[in-house]
Amino acid sequence: MKHLIILLTASAIALCSCGNANRSNAAKTTNDTQTIENAMKPTVYFTSEITPESLVRIYEALGREATGKVAVKISTGEPGGHNYLKPELIKGLVDKVKGTIVECNTAYGGNRATSELHWKAIHDHGFDAIAKVDIMDEEGDMKIPVKDSSLIKYDIVGKHLANYDFMINLAHFKGHAMGGFGGVLKNQSIGVASSAGKAYIHSAGKTDDVLKAWAPEYLAAGDTQDLFLESMAAAAQAVHEYFKEGKNILYINVMNNMSVDCDCDSHPEDPKMKDMGIMASLDPVACDQAALDKVFGMTPNPENNDDNRPLMERINRQHGTYITEYAEKIGLGSKSYNLVTLK
């Protein structure tokens, strides 16, 4: 009996050890899998400081040097508006990369609808005082291929895009009347599209006629809002692929002056929330998603003039977050990311 008890005890110890080993191995496997998954996620860098120096610093953190002829894509801002990225903020970065500020004409009328009017806005806002500026569709447009042709069959961009080797997508993150919000995906789709290209995206591929695009039978809005967002994602992917399959492009969202209205609005609502900082990534989907998460993740403090709810309501009203979902679906980037805060 004594020998039997010793034998049973030894067996129990062995089984217990084996179970512990299995659990340990399982935990190790899970941890290893998580480590691999995290390593595969794109990195998004963040700084709460919004200065010319921090803009250069976050660009350098990306580790991708802008070489060749560099386009710095911004919004020059509709005359009357005042929330656009100011020349004094972006000058240091534009100088560092020896860049040319690029834009395209609008498709909704206003004071940037023609090159003549647009040049006046550029001058009045001071951009031509800090760098060379190029209205890329001033001499026409061109078509570039899209990977997702379910709605738009090509992307119509400013003809001068062909003159550049590298693009810095320098977006002002804020609300937007039609897209819900504007970040790097909008800056690269609607922003790089010519006037005709804007009409083509807004109509979800139905027409490139600027006059027709806003008619109810052509405009992708209301029940067809998601089609507009899908078209924007497809156009953004086309530009990403154009620059050596994404190897010659990078993405920056500046989160200041975050009105519910876009810089294309001549009379935007005043921002109801405080400036947050700058996001940057080599992945456009992650860059926009990180900015969205920052806005949606804050606790509103209206007594301190820091209320994210108006911007959230604008984004939700237009189903704006769907663009990152669809962009991830078509392979443009990832909604998952590793956030690194710069000190």
Q: What does the alpha-carbon distance between residue 202 and residue 295 come to, in Å, rounded to a whole number? A: 26
Mean pLDDT of the chain: 92
- Please check whether residues 61 and 36 belong to one and the same domain: no
Domain span at 25 = 1-40
Q: Say what the pLDDT of residue 6 is.
A: 44
Cβ count within 10 A of residue 328: 18
Q: Say what the pLDDT of residue 80 is.
A: 95
Q: What is the mean pLDDT of residues 74-98?
A: 97
- Please check whether residues 2 and 68 belong to one and the same domain: no
- Please check whether residues 104 and 227 belong to one and the same domain: yes
Out of 46-55, 79-88, 221-230, 247-256, pick the least confident: 221-230
Q: Say what the pLDDT of residue 35 is.
A: 67
- Please check whether residues 26 and 66 belong to one and the same domain: no
Q: Say what the pLDDT of residue 217 is.
A: 86
- Residue 147's pLDDT band (cuts 50, 70, 90): very high
Q: Say what the pLDDT of residue 223 is.
A: 73
What SS3 string covers 139-197? CCEEEECCCCCCCCCCEEEEHHHHHCCEEEEEEECEEECCCEEECHHHHHHCCCECHHH
The CATH number covering residue 69 comes to 3.40.50
- Please check whether residues 14 and 83 belong to one and the same domain: no
Bigger pLDDT: 216 vs 114: 114
pLDDT digits (tens, 9 = 90+) for 293-320: 999 999 999 999 999 999 999 999 999 9
Q: What is the mean pLDDT of residues 39-51?
A: 96
**At residue 28, does pLDDT exceed 70?**
no
Work out how many domains the chain is built from and give that number: 2
Q: What does the alpha-carbon distance between residue 290 and residue 274 come to, in Å, rounded to a whole number? A: 17
- Please check whether residues 158 and 273 belong to one and the same domain: yes
Q: Say what the pLDDT of residue 123 is.
A: 98
- Please check whether residues 229 and 177 belong to one and the same domain: yes
Q: Say what the pLDDT of residue 192 is.
A: 98
Q: Say what the pLDDT of residue 5 is.
A: 45
Q: Say what the pLDDT of residue 26 is.
A: 61
Q: Say what the pLDDT of residue 19 is.
A: 60
**At residue 333, does pLDDT exceed 80?**
yes
Q: Say what the pLDDT of residue 186 is.
A: 98
What are the structure tokens assigned to 162, written together? 């062909």
- Please check whether residues 17 and 70 belong to one and the same domain: no
- Please check whether residues 205 and 331 belong to one and the same domain: yes
Q: Say what the pLDDT of residue 38 is.
A: 79
- Please check whether residues 35 and 60 belong to one and the same domain: no
- Please check whether residues 191 and 305 belong to one and the same domain: yes
Q: What does the alpha-carbon distance between residue 147 and residue 3 come to, in Å, rounded to a whole number? A: 73
What are the structure tokens assigned to 181, written together? 């919000």
Q: Is the pTM of the predicted complex or chain greater than 0.95?
A: no
- Please check whether residues 176 and 322 belong to one and the same domain: yes
Contact 53, 85 (CB under 8 A): no
